Structure 1
Amino acid sequence: MWCIPPEQDAAFVCQMEQVLEAYRRPYDPRRPVVCMDEQPKQLIAEARRPSPAAPGRPARVDYEYVREGTCTVWMFVEPLAGWRDVRVTEAKTAVDWAHRVQRLVDDPRHAEAERITLVCDNLVTHSLASLYKAFEPAEALRLARRLELVHTPKHGSWLNVAEIELSVLTRQCLDRRIAVQDEVAGEAGAWGERRNAKQVGVEWHFTTEDARIKLRHLYPKINE
């Protein structure tokens, strides 16, 4: 259950409607809408080798485990095109975000794109300023000119389609003990390639009109 402080209602509504209006746009390769999100993945090794299943005996796994650190799984997904790009890095700093965005902008599929609308969470690292922390001013400006950032509101990350894709990735692929970052990257990359090959899209049904009905308590009251 999430709760929005009353003083943040107007800001929440404004950013929510910006996201929902972006989702309403028809598919246009010159102005694609791409959603991004990232999540940590704890690296865990087995303390003892598991015993595989045998006739009359189930598989046995020791509850004890060894922590091997963490890594970050990045998800970029274009819902209407059935395309996603999944990458794994050691950290999720502003510089890491900037390099992931550079990869997005320079991807061959976006060579003809005039501007990419990037929907992302409202984190301090998800800003054009991060580009200037990672690159020379000329390169940072080149990337900034190709981007339109649309942030989900605080307490509203559920509006981000990339969060849904990360949930699917975790359930289908990463919800188990993995000890090495390279293995996480290999599993996530293979998962993304399979879904891209099938062009698995995302159908978003929650609209601005729905929000004004179901979340009407968040809309400020206008006193005439």
Structure 2
Amino acid sequence: MDPMVISSPFTINLSTAAEAVLAARAGSARAPYRDVLRARIVLAAARGEPNAVIATGLRIHVDTVRKWRKRYAAGGLDGLKDLARTGRPHTFTPVQVAGIKALACTPPAEKDVPLGRWSGAELAHEAVAEGLVASISQATVARWLAKDAIKPWQHRSWIFPRDPAFETKAARVLDLYARIRDGEPLGPDEYVISADEKSQLQALRRRHPGLAPGPGRTRRIEFEYRRGGTLAYFAAYDVHRAEVIGTIAEKTGIAPFAELVEKVMTTEPYASAKRVFWVVDNGSSHNGARSIERMDAAWPTATLVHLPVHASWLNQVEIYFSILQRKAITGGDFKDLDQLAKRVLAFQNRYNATAEPFDWKYTRADLNDYLHRLNKHDHELAA
């Protein structure tokens, strides 16, 4: 041995069982690297290698070798485990934490605070003002809320159903999506169309050309634009065949909707269908009993089915409209209405080439659960 190399006072003698365990750890590809490294240190020490040689061979600091060699000599395999860490003592009690979370779930108006919602800084200030804590940072408050199941800073807008026939109308549409009408399954020559219009589509022409994305740079779109007018897009979506038929009009109204109906009802397979059910909302182009009368008179095999008021979220064509908006219109640069109309219809053709029916999962059972929760909410408010 090199006389310059200092030998360790901790001699390692391994039993057959311990050597087998350490050899398995040292050669493992899945064990945590810290366990692999510690096993290799002990095995090398057991072979009589000095600490400095082991450190050089494993490319680690010699102090690391000394630590785990000493720990193994004192405690065996258990000595290679990490010691328990007590960590920093808690500054705030569970009661204080719960109190601040409760405060976060309380609308600011109930505390006479002129805010629409709390921020981390505002909650920290209010917690001190109410004496919940002596002091606290907004970062601590934000960290507690981020880990909690309740996110009081988030919100969703909704409209309370006000249609007295909401359940009946919604259930009728959900049945059609499930290919059921009046308790009976639809036949192969019966179809369900979800229809609506996307109004006020604007032909926006950017004042300067956009900039394509590049290394370290996202795509840039000029903010300022010139308005080139608006148009309306009427679409009929076959919910079971995933096919869209659409028309372009200058504006919404009864006449352009009738043109869409005519285009669909004169196209196969709808022209020779036994029945075609048209699911629509209560927009002015197709609302009220008069719209049903017009449909019956013009197309005896077509049946107009109205959704409840404020229930466009049950109209599947709205999903298609959102796809159209995201993929073909948002961020676009259109020199005029003709270019916008061509884009919309070209996207429709592209969509039809590969589309599959939406994975619609909202059923009568979901509707019943929703109405039950609304009824419970009403009773709680009345109490």
* Class of the TM-score when normalised by the shorter of the 2 chains: 0.7 to 0.9
1:21 aligned residue: 175
Corresponding residue SS for 2:196: strand
| One-letter code aligned to 2:197 | E
Distance 2:244 2:361 in 1: 20
Deviates more, 1:161-170 or 1:15-24: 15-24
- The structure 2 residue matched to 1:39, chosen from 198, 208, 213, is 198
By how many angstroms is 1:190 displaced?
2.2
Give yes or no for the alignment of 1:99 onto 2:268: no
1:153 aligned residue: 308
> Compared with structure 1, are the counterparts of its residues 216 and 10 closer, same or farther at alpha carbon in structure 2 (3 Å cutoff)?
farther
**Residues 9, 219 of structure 1: 8 Å contact kept:** no
> Compared with structure 1, are the counterparts of its residues 179 and 29 closer, same or farther at alpha carbon in structure 2 (3 Å cutoff)?
farther
**What does the per-residue CA deviation read over 1:38-81, in whole Å, with 9 as the maximum and x for residues that have no partner?**
11211111223445567887765432211111111222111211
- The structure 2 residue matched to 1:80, chosen from 240, 246, 254, is 240
1:10 aligned residue: 164
**Residues 229, 337 of structure 2: 8 Å contact kept:** no
Distance 1:51 1:81 in 2: 39
**Residues 115, 147 of structure 1: 8 Å contact kept:** yes
Corresponding residue SS for 1:80: coil
**What does the per-residue CA deviation read over 1:135-194, in whole Å, with 9 as the maximum and x for residues that have no partner?**
xxxx97232x12111111112100000001110111111112324222222222222222
TM-score (norm 2): 0.50
Distance 2:292 2:263 in 1: 12
2:10 aligned residue: none
Greater RCO (Cα-Cα under 8 Å, separation 6 or more): 1
2:348 aligned residue: 192
Distance 1:60 1:171 in 2: 16
Where does 1:55-134 land on structure 2 (aligned, <5 Å)?
61-127=221-287, 129=290
> Compared with structure 1, are the counterparts of its residues 126 and 68 closer, same or farther at alpha carbon in structure 2 (3 Å cutoff)?
same
> Compared with structure 1, are the counterparts of its residues 166 and 110 closer, same or farther at alpha carbon in structure 2 (3 Å cutoff)?
same
Give yes or no for the alignment of 1:212 onto 2:357: no
% identity of equivalent residues:
28
By how many angstroms is 1:33 displaced?
0.3
**Residues 79, 203 of structure 1: 8 Å contact kept:** no
TM-score (norm 1): 0.81
Corresponding residue SS for 1:19: helix
Alignment root-mean-square deviation, CA: 2.9
| One-letter code aligned to 2:349 | E
**Residues 281, 308 of structure 2: 8 Å contact kept:** yes
By how many angstroms is 1:11 displaced?
1.7
Deviates more, 1:77-86 or 1:48-57: 48-57
Deviates more, 1:64-73 or 1:80-89: 80-89
Distance 2:361 2:211 in 1: 45
Q: Bigger radius of gyration, 1 or 2?
A: 2
Deviates more, 1:115-124 or 1:26-35: 26-35
The structure that is strand-richer by fraction is 1
Distance 1:96 1:9 in 2: 27
Corresponding residue SS for 2:272: coil
| One-letter code aligned to 2:370 | K
**Residues 292, 304 of structure 2: 8 Å contact kept:** no
1:136 aligned residue: none
